[in-house]
Chains A and B, each alone.
Chain A
Amino acid sequence: MSAVLEKVAVNDEGYLLNPDDWTPEIAEAFAKEMGIELTDRHWEIINFVRNYYKEKGQSPTLRQISTGAGVPTKELFKLFPKGPAKKVARIAGVPKPEGCI
């Protein structure tokens, strides 16, 4: 595990316990773990997700990211393969989206 990640508290599924602990370095480290190299486009989406969480107190679903950030779903799957909403949430340091109950 990378040195940045050793110092932060995460839950069983690897999401930050406290979204305020988040730093861009943590995002880089999580992304690396998932085999994703962060580009500007990734960052646009990460920032959207962080702002969304700050405003609404919950993590956006895939559909909300796509409409809200204006990124086609297909591209989201390219950028964050296999479950983009969950992956961005983890990288952005916010809780797993609870869109599905």
Chain B
Amino acid sequence: MKKILILGGGTAGTMAANRLRQELEPEEWEITVVDQSKIHYYQPGFLFIPFGIYKKRDVIKPRRDYLAPGINLIVSEIDVIEPDKNRVRIKEGGRWLPYDFLIIATGTHPRPQETPGLLDGEWYRSIFDFYTIDGAVNLSHRLRTWEGGRLVLNIVDMPIKCPVAPLEFIFLADWFFHKQGIRDKVELVYVTPLPGAFTKPKASKVLGHMLEEKNIHLIPEFYIERVDPERKVIISYEEEEIPYDLLVTIPLNMGSDVIARSGIGDDLNYVPTEKYTLKAKHFDNVFVLGDAGDLPTSKAGSVAHFQVDVFVPNFLRYIDGLDLLPTFDGHANCYIESGFGKGILIDFNYDVEPLPGKFPLPGLGPFSLLQESVINHWGKMIFRWMYWHILMKGRELPIPAQMMMAGKWS
């Protein structure tokens, strides 16, 4: 019996496990998933919780329900990976799990402890995150009774997972305070280490323009060093200060600690990964899917989905002794919620930045790229249903994994 061990049963690990289970004979291949938590979170839903659009119960499901029968689930923290011995130790009972093939899908996680001051007394009082369920829920309580003031959103450093989520947050905040009737009492400030609203030039221009229209103040190229929670200011490495009444932080994102403990990651605990095949650079029977790798594309659920689409057929070639094909192109596809029931959609890969056009059918859409529309908003809202019922069940979406240039104009 050959063993496939999957570390992390989140977006990427769950999809990979289910798709491999469909393809591989149960008599020949054992598939085991290890995750520290029994709950599977729909993280894109965290964005909507602070504004009361979703509740906690809308974004959590039992992890077991989303793994096909015939997949073993072990609930335990992973302690260490020993790739040269083809084994992994879990915390529960100190047990060793041997493998023939390993898939690392342990994701990336916010680290507020890396920025001095964030956790010192004002955490979940005047300082919040929304990248965790606790942060999102606590912020929803705060916003319900907040009477206005200066709300500063600060991105500590890149890369972060879902690099559009902070923009979506500030767009939704604009809409939310309008709806509460206090927009005139709220100052919205978007503070980023990037030179503009977003990473890629064309999208950055469009999104920067939207910030302006919504009267959201953009402060680019600000590298936070620390927070003074008593004086309520964030302070940069160059000693510039920005005051706030309410601080929403996107803390430094880092890969799982088990990557560091195993000595197989870079300085942010990301595993060096081959760009086009998703194999770990230093190991021939290890693959890296989702946010855990160091690929130069966005860390996003949509990317994880396109990765799994190209990984599964490639893996089936590999175990038959064929070469891996260089089929992953870095494809990302993100809905950006822009408030007032509208959204924007961007589609890009390693080489091509987001361009205007129509998606997925050239010329027809129905979704518009890099342009606000009501239907893009519905694409985002329907995505939660698709996540649980199609993607996590190992079914395929009728969207090609590789990016298409048809339907885009530059």
Residue positions of A touching B, CB distance < 8 A: 58, 62-64, 67-68, 73-74, 76-77, 81-83, 98-101
Q: Contact partner of A100 among B159, B238, B267, CB < 8 A?
A: B159
Q: Which residue in chain B gives the minimum CB-CB distance to A75?
A: B237
* 28 pairs, CB–CB < 8 Å, chain A vs chain B: A62-B157, A63-B267, A63-B268, A64-B266, A67-B267, A73-B223, A73-B225, A73-B237, A74-B225, A74-B237, A76-B237, A77-B237, A77-B238, A81-B238, A82-B238, A83-B195, A83-B221, A98-B296, A99-B158, A99-B159, A100-B159, A100-B163, A100-B193, A100-B199, A101-B158, A101-B199, A101-B200, A101-B297
Nearest CB in chain A to that of B237: its residue: A77
| Residues of B contacting A: mostly | loop
Q: How far in angstroms is the closest Cβ of chain B from A16?
A: 19
Question: Any chain A CB within 8 A of the CB of B194?
Answer: yes
Q: In this assembly, does B298 line the interface, its C-beta being within 8 Å of a C-beta of chain A? A: yes
Judge whether B158 and A100 touch: CB under 8 Å.
Answer: yes
Nearest chain B CB to A3 CB, angstrom units: 29
Minimum CB distance partner of A67 in chain B: B267
B interface, size bucket: 20 to 34
Question: Chain B 291-304, CB within 8 Å of chain A: the 1/0 string?
Answer: 00000111000000
User: Whose C-beta in chain A lies nearest to the C-beta of B157?
Assistant: A63
Q: Contact partner of A101 among B193, B267, B296, CB < 8 A?
A: B296
Contacts of A63 in B (CB 8 A): 157, 267-268
Q: How far is the CB of A34 from chain B (nearest CB, A)?
A: 14
Q: Within 8 Å CB of A100, what residues of B?
A: 158-159, 163, 193-194, 199
**CB-CB < 8 A to B268: which residues of A?**
63
A83 to B356, CA, bound (A): 30
CB closest residue in chain B, given A83:
B221
Q: How far is the CB of A28 from chain B (nearest CB, A)?
A: 24
A63 vs B267: C-alpha distance in the bound complex, in angstroms? Answer: 8
The docked-state distance in angstroms from the alpha carbon of A83 to that of B157 is 12
B207–chain A nearest beta-carbon distance, Å: 14
Q: Are A82 and B221 in contact (CB under 8 A)?
A: yes
Flag if B221 contacts A101 (CB, 8 Å). Answer: no
Establish whether residues A77 and B267, one from each chain, have CB atoms under 8 Å apart when the complex forms. Answer: no
Interface residues of B in 190-229 (CB under 8 A from A): 193-195, 199-200, 221, 223, 225
Residue numbers in B under 8 Å from A64 (CB-CB):
266-267
* CB proximity of A74 to chain B, nearest CB, Å: 5
Q: How far is the CA of A62 from the CA of B159 in the complex (A)?
A: 12
CA distance A98 to B296 in the complex (A): 7
CA distance A75 to B169 in the complex (A): 33
Chain A: CB-nearest residue to B299: A101
The CA of A82 and the CA of B268, in the complex, are separated in Å by 23
Task: Please measure, in the bound complex, the distance between the C-alpha atom of A77 and the C-alpha atom of B236, giving whole angstroms.
Answer: 10
From known contacts A74-B225, A82-B221, A83-B221, infer whether A101 and B163 are also in contact, taking CB-CB under 8 Å: yes
In the complex, what residue of chain B is closest to A73 when comparing beta carbons? B237
B225-258 at interface with A (beta carbon < 8 Å): 225, 237-238
Bound-state CA distance A89–B357 (Å) is 34
Q: How far is the CB of B123 from chain A (nearest CB, A)?
A: 23
Could you tell me the distance between the alpha carbons of A81 and B237 in the complex, rounded to whole angstroms? 10
- The residue of chain A having its C-beta at the shortest distance from the C-beta of B295 within the complex is A101
Chain A residues within an 8 Å CB radius of B297 = 101
Q: Considering the chains assembled together, what is the distance between the CA atoms of A73 and B193 in angstroms? A: 14
Q: Which residues does chain A contribute within 8 Å of B267, judged by CB atoms?
A: 63-64, 67-68
Report how far A58 CA is from B266 CA in the complex, Å: 14
| A77-B296 in contact (CB<8A) | no
The minimal Cβ–Cβ distance linking B51 to chain A, given in whole angstroms, is 27
- What is the bound-complex CA distance between A80 and B268, given in angstroms? 23
With A64-B267, A99-B158 known, 12 other A-B pairs at CB within 8 A are: A62-B157, A63-B267, A67-B267, A68-B267, A73-B225, A73-B237, A100-B159, A100-B193, A101-B158, A101-B296, A101-B297, A101-B298
> What separation, in Å, do the CA atoms of A99 and B163 have in the docked complex?
12
B241 to chain A, nearest CB (A): 15
